[in-house]
Copies of this chain bind each other. A is one copy, B any other.
Amino acid sequence: MLDDRKIKILRAIVVDYIATAEPVGSRTIARKYRMGISPATIRNEMADLEELGYLAQPYTSAGRIPSDKGYRFYVDFLMPVVELSQRELNEIRRIFKKRVKELEDLIEETSRVISNLTNYTSIIIGPQLHESRIKHVEILKLSKGKGLLIIVTNYGTVLNQIIELPENLTDSDLTRISNLFNNFLVEKTVDEITPDYMERIKSEMREYEQALDTLIHVLIERLEESKENGKVFASGSSRMLDFPEFKDVEKARNFLSLIEEEDFMVRVLKYTSKPNQITISIGNENPWKELREFSIITTNFSVGGKNLGIFGVIGPTRMDYSKVVSILNKVTAYLNDALSTLI
C-alpha cells in the first residue's frame, strides 16, 4: 500500500491536473502544495508512483499525469466531499420548483441542469416502465380505418400508437373493446402482461377476433419496447469542446458522434450503473474502446424504491470527480423527492 507521503503527492498531482490540464512537475508540487520536502525528493516518489502504475508521463521529462489507476485511487480513497455553492443549490431548486407538465419534461430539465452545473455532457434515460402499472387503456377512432391506442401508467406516462382498425367497427364496438382491455389490464404491471395472458382476452370476445388479433399484437409490442427503452436525452455536448482534450477536431468529432448514437449510450449507461448508488467508471475500466479516454459517472432515480431511470455524466478522465458526485447526489435527492410527490 502507499505510504502517507506518496498519497499526499498523488493527491496533489490529481488535484492539480484536474484543475489545469497540464502535466504536473515536482517543483509545482513543492511550491504550490507546501509539502515541506524538496523537489528532488518528490521526484523520487514520483518515479516510484509511476512504477506502481499510478502516474504516467506523456513524454520523457515532462511532468506527470494520473493514470486511470491513479484516478481510481483518488476516487476510492482521497476524493473530498464538496459542498455545493449557494448559486448551484439555487439553480437546482429552481428547476424543481417549477410546475411540471409531463414526467418527461422534468427529466429533460434535470439533464440540462446537470450539464449546466458540471460543465460536462449529461445523458439521461427516461422512465423505464418495467414495474409500472397500467392505469387506463383507451382506443379512439381518428378517421376511417385509423385509430389511436393510448396506454396510461401509474407514473403518468402516456404511450400512444397509431393503429389500423377494421372500417366496420362502430364506436360502441370500440367502447366495448376498450372496457374489456381495461378490465384485463388495469392495475397489472407491464411485466405481467404476457402474450399468454392476452390470449384470454381473445376468447372473451370471439366476435371481434380479427380486430383483437392485431390490436393485442401492437399493444404487446409497444409495452415490450417501453419496458426497456425510455427516451434518451443528452445535454451540453458542445460544452466538451471547451476542454483542451478536444482541441483536436478529430477527437471532438468522435465524441460527438458517440453521443449521438443513442442506442450505444443506452447500453453504456445500463452496463455502467448499479442500482441506488453512484458509480464511477474511469477510462479503460469501460469495456468499450471508444470510451478509453472518458469517464462516466452514473446514478439512477426512483420512486417508491422502484428504479425508474438512469442518468449520467460523461467527460474526459481528467474530470472533477468530487464536484460531479456532489451534484449528482444533490440532484438525485431532489428528483426522487419531486417524483414521489408528483405521482
Interface residues of A (CB under 8 A from B): 100-103, 135-136, 138, 140, 142-143, 146, 148, 150, 152, 154, 156, 158, 160-162, 222, 235-238, 241-242, 246-247, 249, 252-253, 256-257, 259-260, 342-343
Contact = CB atoms under 8 A, between A and B. Distances in A.
23 contacts: A100-B162, A101-B222, A102-B162, A103-B162, A135-B142, A138-B138, A142-B156, A143-B154, A146-B156, A146-B342, A148-B156, A150-B152, A156-B160, A156-B162, A158-B158, A162-B342, A162-B343, A237-B260, A238-B253, A241-B253, A241-B256, A246-B249, A252-B252
Contacts of A100: 162
A256 B115 CA distance: 15
Contact of A238 (B150, B235, B260): B260
Given A103-B162, A238-B253, A135 B140 contact: yes
Given A102-B160, A150-B158, A156-B162, A241 B237 contact: no
Contacts of A257: 238
B161 A101 contact: yes
Contact of A158 (B160, B241, B256): B160
Given A102-B162, A158-B160, A238-B260, 18 more contacts: A135-B140, A135-B142, A136-B138, A142-B154, A142-B343, A146-B342, A148-B152, A148-B158, A150-B150, A152-B160, A162-B343, A236-B260, A238-B257, A241-B253, A242-B253, A247-B249, A249-B249, A256-B256
A82 B155 CA distance: 50
Given A136-B140, A140-B136, A249-B249, A161 B238 contact: no
A34 B162 CA distance: 56
Contacts of A252: 241, 249, 252
A257 B222 CA distance: 35
A253 B256 CA distance: 11
Contacts of A249: 241, 246-247, 249, 252
Contact of A146 (B138, B161, B260, B343): B343
A100 B142 CA distance: 15
Contacts of A101: 161-162, 222
Nearest to A150: B158
The 6 closest A-B pairs by CB, nearest first: A238-B256, A241-B253, A158-B160, A238-B257, A156-B162, A101-B161
A148 B159 CA distance: 13
B241 A161 contact: no
A321 to B, nearest CB: 24
Nearest to A225: B101
A316 to B, nearest CB: 15
A135 B241 CA distance: 46
Nearest to A257: B238
